[in-house]
Homo-oligomer: A and B are copies of this chain.
């Protein structure tokens, strides 16, 4: 298919692709013995570490160049993970719009990652016109997997999901929390690995990112790619800042690289693994 037929396809310069390479899952290590996929944490925040101006409010933070990077990163992962709040608030596409990806000049679903929605209690009220499913019909994206703590999908939702080739994965709720229905990140990632998913790009929202950065779970992160936009969103925004558990658990990055993309800076690094 002629790529000129895809006016909405994005380009990402090859020198940036090369620069980002050390922070991406290696395609060669296909038979990794690890019981979890390679995990890349990625988000875009303001100078005051807000990913949105208010809860549930989609906020345009980063520029065109950073957006193209996000789609390149999506092309490099087997799956993209978001929380149910993000799925509900943004009606996101979670596909890859890079030129050459399936639906954007590429063959079939080439480079299209699997959308994963972490939705413990089935709160994401999707319909067949939700963007994730429209993209499946247009052959521009894969059907989502929903990770739930209980078998809570209605028959209607289950039908939509299976009609598009998606599925619901049940991961038992964690015993760590009392009230909240929450699953342990390790269990979620183990379940995804069992589905053949070797790399996951965790994109948001705030609760997903903050819990993954929690001192108890941050060792699961293999790579971090954070975009910072030159703006302050203010105190009412959705803040990224991990919990501390009393001790000196500052989370420093190793192998740091900063990339300037348009008005934004992109920080890449590997979390220091505690010994």
Q: Does A267 contact B (CB under 8 A)?
A: yes
A244 touches B235 (CB 8 A): yes
Q: CB-nearest residue of chain B relative to A248?
A: B53
Known: A48-B241, A234-B241, A235-B241. A256 touches B263 (CB 8 A): yes
Known: A47-B226, A226-B47. A242 touches B234 (CB 8 A): yes
A239 to B46, CA, bound (A): 13
What is the count of identical protomers in the complex?
2
A50 to B253, CA, bound (A): 16
Query: Is chain A's binding surface mostly helix, strand, loop or mixed?
Result: loop
Contacts of A50 in B (CB 8 A): 241
Contacts of A174 in B (CB 8 A): none
State which of B49, B226, B248 has its C-beta within 8 Å of the C-beta of A49.
Answer: B49
A244 touches B250 (CB 8 A): no
A258 touches B252 (CB 8 A): no
Q: CB-nearest residue of chain B relative to A269?
A: B230
Contacts of A85 in B (CB 8 A): none
State which of B236, B249, B260, B267 has its C-beta within 8 Å of the C-beta of A47.
Answer: B267
Interface residues of A (CB under 8 A from B): 45-50, 53, 213, 226, 228, 230-237, 239-244, 248-253, 256, 258, 260, 263, 265, 267, 269
- Inter-chain pairs besides A230-B252, A230-B269, 17 sampled, C-beta below 8 Å: A45-B47, A47-B49, A47-B226, A47-B228, A47-B240, A48-B49, A48-B241, A50-B241, A228-B228, A230-B253, A231-B253, A232-B242, A234-B251, A235-B241, A256-B263, A258-B260, A265-B265
